[in-house]
Amino acid sequence: MPELPEVETVRRGIAPILEGNRIERARAFRADLRWPFPERFAERLTGRTVLSLRRRSKYILGEMDDGHTWRMHLGMSGRSFVVAARGSGLGGSFVHEIPASPRVDAFGPHDHVVVDTGAARLIYNDARRFGAMDLWPTADLEGHPLLGKLGPEPLGNLFNVDALSAALNGKTASIKAALLDQRVVSGLGNIYVCEALWRAKIHPARAAGSISRKRLDALVRHIRDVLAEAIEAGGSSLRDYRQADGELGYFQHRFSVYDREDEPCTLMSCPGVVRRLVQSGRSTFYCPKCQK
DNA sequence: CGATACACCTGTGTGC
DNA sequence: TGCACACAGGTGTATC
């Protein structure tokens, strides 16, 4: 579920309670999410301070004061909530509230990890458990088996027409599949690939290696634009996703094609109707009239 | 190596 | 109402 804009929104929401605040207590209510947690995971978080909370692709990375980085991925249904302690002035509208005497059974279904700092509580909730967390030496993050293979950040300087061109050169897979490949560019998912391809007027089934440099240049710009606009809107809420304070994101109201099958193309003067096709098992939404 | 299929897991909406 | 089935913001792994 969460793509780059949702992950960045969550990061911004939880940074104020984690950065610079000692973790008084951390608890994990099960042994794994997608994979087992590290040995003594909760104990290793307890007493630590997160010096900075950053994002790389769809990962949230908390650099801790013991030389390790706390790596978090929200998978499809992961949510990270800030729950305000009474009187702290932090947090927001979400229904959770810290009980006067916290008990394990005070938490809701699928609340898997709970972290308390002096000021507030962070709850990681994930119904499908495709999310993940681990601890990795900060000095060797590039050596992490999952972080090391990631392509450039789409909002960073390393992502440009030269890089995209080189990454797509010779590829016979569709441009849709190529943009979902996190080695090509990292952070895009199903929503924003569909939206960016519509903006660039590129048909999602086109062979990735067959697209002109000029069109790739436009694609780079549209990818940046749509991500930036979505971050601005607090991400897109379809089912599970919430901002860290429990609020919905708002970008779903501005979708041009995603989840709009059979509705009219939003391009002024385009008579097209949005169609859905399935590529590598996932829905693609596009306008057959204006995407070629 | 590249491209595709399948797997993981739970919740929700749809049609019969 | 109940039930089967499709489908969901991701991505590692197996398979050709």
> Where on strand B do bases come within 7 A of a protein Cβ?
2-12
Q: Total domain count for chain A? A: 2
**A239 — pLDDT class (breaks 50, 70, 90):** confident
As annotated, the active-site residues of A are: 2-3, 58, 282
**Predicted pLDDT of residue A1:** 67
DSSP A180: H
Determine the distance between A87 (CA) and C3 (C1') in angstroms: 48
pLDDT at site A88: 53
Domain boundary among A84, A113, A143: A143
Range in A12-26, A80-94, A149-163 with the lowest mean pLDDT: A80-94
The stretch A55-77 carries a mean pLDDT of: 98
In a shared domain, residues A124 and A188: no
Is there a domain that residue A154 lies in? Answer: no
In this prediction, residue A280 carries a pLDDT of 86
A279 φ, ψ (degrees, to nearest 5)? -125, 125
From the CB of residue A14, how many other CB atoms can be counted at a distance below 10 Å? 25
Specify if A49 maps to a domain: yes
What is the distance in angstroms measured between the alpha-carbon CA of A75 and the sugar C1' of C12? 12
Report residue A229's pLDDT band, with 50, 70 and 90 as the boundaries: very high
- Domain identity same for A126 and A176: no
Considering only CA atoms, which of A213, A154, A204, A200 is closest in space to residue A178? Answer: A204
Is there contact between A141 and strand C, defined as CB under 7 Å from any strand atom?
Answer: no
Provide the pLDDT for residue A95: 44
Residue A185 covered by a domain: yes
Q: Which domain holds residue A95?
A: 4-143
**A92-95 CB contacts, 8 Å cutoff, 24+ apart:** A92/A243, A92/A244, A92/A245, A92/A246, A92/A247, A93/A245, A93/A246, A93/A247, A94/A242, A94/A245, A94/A246, A95/A246
Which strands form A78-84's sheet, in the order they lie side by side?
Answer: A23-28, A111-117, A120-126, A78-84
Domain identity same for A22 and A89: yes
The answer to the question of residue A149 being in a domain is no
CA of A275 to C1' of C9 (A): 19
- Is residue A247 included in any domain, yes or no? yes
Q: Are A231 and A192 in contact (CB under 8 A)?
A: no
Could you report the per-residue pLDDT of A122-134, keeping only the tens digit for each? 999 999 999 999 9
In this structure, what CATH number is given to the domain that contains residue A239?
1.10.8.50
CA of A238 to C1' of C8 (A): 9
Strands A59-64, A50-56: pairing kind? antiparallel
Residues A39 and A112 in one domain: yes
Summarize the confidence of residues A204-231 as an average pLDDT: 98
Task: Give the pLDDT mean for A276-285.
Answer: 94
**Residue A136 and residue A214 in one domain:** no
- My answer on whether A186 and A129 are in the same domain is no
Strand C contacts in A 121-140 (CB under 7 A): 128, 130
Please report which residue ranges of chain A form alpha helices under DSSP H: 4-18, 41-45, 161-168, 175-180, 190-200, 213-232
Nucleotide nearest to A237 (CA to C1'): C9
A 58-77, residues with C-beta < 7 Å of strand C? 58, 73, 75-76
Q: What is the CATH number of the domain that holds A34?
A: 3.20.190.10
How do residues A248-278 score in pLDDT, each as one tens digit? 999 999 999 999 999 999 998 999 999 999 9
> Which is more confidently placed, A214 or A120?
A214
Q: What is the pLDDT of residues A99-118, one digit of tens each?
A: 544 444 568 899 999 999 98
Q: What is the pLDDT of residue A80?
A: 86
Per-residue pLDDT, A85: 60
pTM for the whole structure: 0.95
Q: What is the mean pLDDT of residues A182-206?
A: 98
Residue whose structure tokens are 């302690």: A85
User: Residues A254, A195: one domain?
Assistant: yes
Exposed/middle/buried for A239, CB within 10 Å: 0-12, 13-18, 19+? Answer: exposed
- CA nearest A14: which of A98, A81, A103? A81
Question: pLDDT band at A83, cuts 50/70/90?
Answer: confident
CA distances from A12 to A82, A93, A181, A231, A245 (A): 11, 16, 25, 10, 10
Computed over every residue of chain A, the mean pLDDT equals 92
| Protein residues with beta carbon less than 7 Å from any atom of strand B | A 34, 77, 109-110, 127-130, 171-174, 177, 208, 239, 280-281
Distance A43 CA to C9 C1' (A): 31
